[in-house]
Chain A
């Protein structure tokens, strides 16, 4: 104990005071809000459902970050663009023509499947192309190089799609069958939110099965464990890495369709903020871990939705809703201070870290 006290310098002291202050603000804010509760039970349920729906989308996108990190120990900053490219192309080339033809209204289920399929296909193609052209030649380069390349690829795809479909936001057609809401507990849940939560759940279960029980899934895990040994066991490492990118991009393609259903507009820059948030979610949950991405996404969505009202409102902060990103990132910092491996992450072995 005396030893540790002797080592304590003023920077550590400052950091501990800062941590304590953040925790104190959150505690005081929460207690004050709960005492003079300005919201009804229904409002709280709404906040939680909004948070889960938003978090589900973050989770799906975060899968892509975490899979690629698990295999290559690389942060693929172009992943937000995989998300954007699928739904942007699908809206312009599939959803709007279907809506004009009246088919979207008369046959919503096949239309939605078609939109989802085209979104997934485009996302996967873009991801495979990026991996083959931008990342594979740099496989043995220093780790900073693929990172910088990823940022470059991200800009490239943004402006490529801007060139294809224009700089303006395009409205995603409304589907009458998805308008309105369904009663649940004390509140009404919007139909698109139900779809988001349901689809995310199904897709995550399927992904879990794919990774844990199929041959290609096992190959991905083997390559993540050790590329050289996997190659010796007869696994084609390059193909498995491509498969990893494709799996992540397919998740992003699904997330893109859900995003368009909930927010009803798409544009070339729409991948940037969800991309950054999903990366945050992946780190929050524990990067490299698939359950971590799911849990991190949900937590981030809930922090963003509940945080401003729960922590800040009763502290008398003006325009507290504008601070939702501050809250999300503060929570990230807090989690990383107290649990550096993330909420459900494992401590990385020396060799990988």
Chain B
């Protein structure tokens, strides 16, 4: 009995060893010399990239819009070095848990070259960590939280973004409110998410630097519906009711704050502002008749040029709608940045490709003067690549119309 058992184990072990040798023996002419590993693309196989964008829940428009941008970029690019490009679309859930899940799923697949994502900064923090540890490159078309490109906070090697840093957006909104609208007291509300908190903080710092005073700085919870108590406390702030109320939160909470702020005593004349987390067809519909007297900051979408004309036409043809949200062009540029770096760093042999992961990262960080729809992209050492232009919009007849600068 025990002899047969030993024999069985011996056979299993031998099988494993043979299999391991066999696997090694079958490896191709390439030798990977990259410090953090390589992706090999066999002849005829597609180059695979993953997206991790919010494609479920109340913020679907935000992520789906970016995913459409990625898909159009892949379509326009055609074959890269003789290989087709394939997208694996994951959902970041717009939450830390969602980013974690999407990240784990992607890095468990070694054939994926790079990640376009995430939509929400809250999901970006864990995903950047996981992807960075596994050697992947991440380019976000839509994360704007300042902490993500701050090495003292959430920045990880391999993370870059084509979206603006919210230091720029917060400063633009403060400039608009203080100088253009002439409002000198403000309040800000966030929901504890890194994006909303980062942007509310950036706004506060910039508004105070302009000379304004921030009379209240508070927070609500994601999923809250009754905003009237918090709005009443803001209206009764020690510094008086604010002239400007800035709430850079996501769709549902943003719509609740927008409609309910009109009903709270003391805030009748307060001008309201939100940001790109509340910038979608769905948000405009929910805000409805509360839109007058409300301003939205977001990336300047007054793009021009042949590429954008073709892009807009392709978006309409492929998806049957005008762009749903604001980061489609950033996603298009992020995808092109990645594919152009793949072209530059891939080693070719007999139709197969070898892409060094560190080479790919180095190439991405070295991006300089890259001509995209959103402008001329130049990355700094911590991955801020955007040619950041912020505009302020208002809703007119259900559409966001740019009114500043």
Q: Which residues of A contact B289 (CB under 8 A)?
A: 174
Q: Which residues of B contact A217 (CB under 8 A)?
A: none
- A213 at the B interface (CB under 8 A): no
In the complex, are the beta carbons of B236 and A39 less than 8 A apart? yes
Q: Which residues of A contact B232 (CB under 8 A)?
A: 39, 43, 46-47, 50, 309
In the complex, are the beta carbons of A321 and B60 less than 8 A apart? no
- B263 at the A interface (CB under 8 A): yes
Q: Which residues of B contact A174 (CB under 8 A)?
A: 288-289
Given A171-B285, A265-B286, A304-B226: A321 and B265 interface contact (C-beta under 8 Å)? no
Q: Which residues of B contact A39 (CB under 8 A)?
A: 232, 236
Question: In whole Å, how far is B114's beta carbon from the nearest beta carbon of chain A?
Answer: 28
Q: How many residues of A contact B (CB 8 A)?
A: 39
- A181 at the B interface (CB under 8 A): yes
In the complex, are the beta carbons of A43 and B256 less than 8 A apart? no
The contact of A46 among B228, B252, B256, by CB within 8 Å, is: B228
Q: Which residues of B contact A265 (CB under 8 A)?
A: 252, 255-256, 286
Interface string of B162-194 (1 = CB under 8 A from A): 000000000000000000000000000000100
Q: Which residues of B contact A8 (CB under 8 A)?
A: none
In the complex, are the beta carbons of B218 and A263 less than 8 A apart? no
- B282 at the A interface (CB under 8 A): yes
> How far, in angstroms, from A73 to B265 measured CA to CA in the complex?
45
> How far, in angstroms, from A321 to B234 measured CA to CA in the complex?
10
Q: Which residues of A contact B217 (CB under 8 A)?
A: 318-319
In the complex, are the beta carbons of A322 and B219 less than 8 A apart? yes
Given A305-B229, A309-B229, A322-B219: A168 and B282 interface contact (C-beta under 8 Å)? yes
In the complex, are the beta carbons of A169 and B218 less than 8 A apart? no
In the complex, are the beta carbons of A321 and B229 less than 8 A apart? yes
- A132 at the B interface (CB under 8 A): no
> How far, in angstroms, from A113 to B400 measured CA to CA in the complex?
35
The contact of A187 among B218, B238, B265, B282, by CB within 8 Å, is: B265
Q: Which residues of A contact B228 (CB under 8 A)?
A: 46, 50, 305
Q: Which residues of B contact A38 (CB under 8 A)?
A: 236-238
In the complex, are the beta carbons of B236 and A305 less than 8 A apart? no
Question: In whole Å, how far is B150's beta carbon from the nearest beta carbon of chain A?
Answer: 21
- B349 at the A interface (CB under 8 A): no
For window 83-124 of chain A, which residues contact chain B by CB distance below 8 Å? none
Given A169-B282, A174-B289, A190-B263: A322 and B220 interface contact (C-beta under 8 Å)? yes
- A9 at the B interface (CB under 8 A): no
Spell out A's residues near B (CB within 8 Å). Answer: 38-40, 42-43, 46-47, 50-51, 54, 167-169, 171, 174, 181, 187-188, 190, 259, 263-265, 267, 269, 273, 304-306, 308-309, 313, 318-322, 324-325
* Known A43-B232, A265-B255; further 7 A-B contacts with Cβ < 8 A: A40-B236, A171-B286, A187-B265, A308-B229, A319-B218, A321-B229, A322-B219
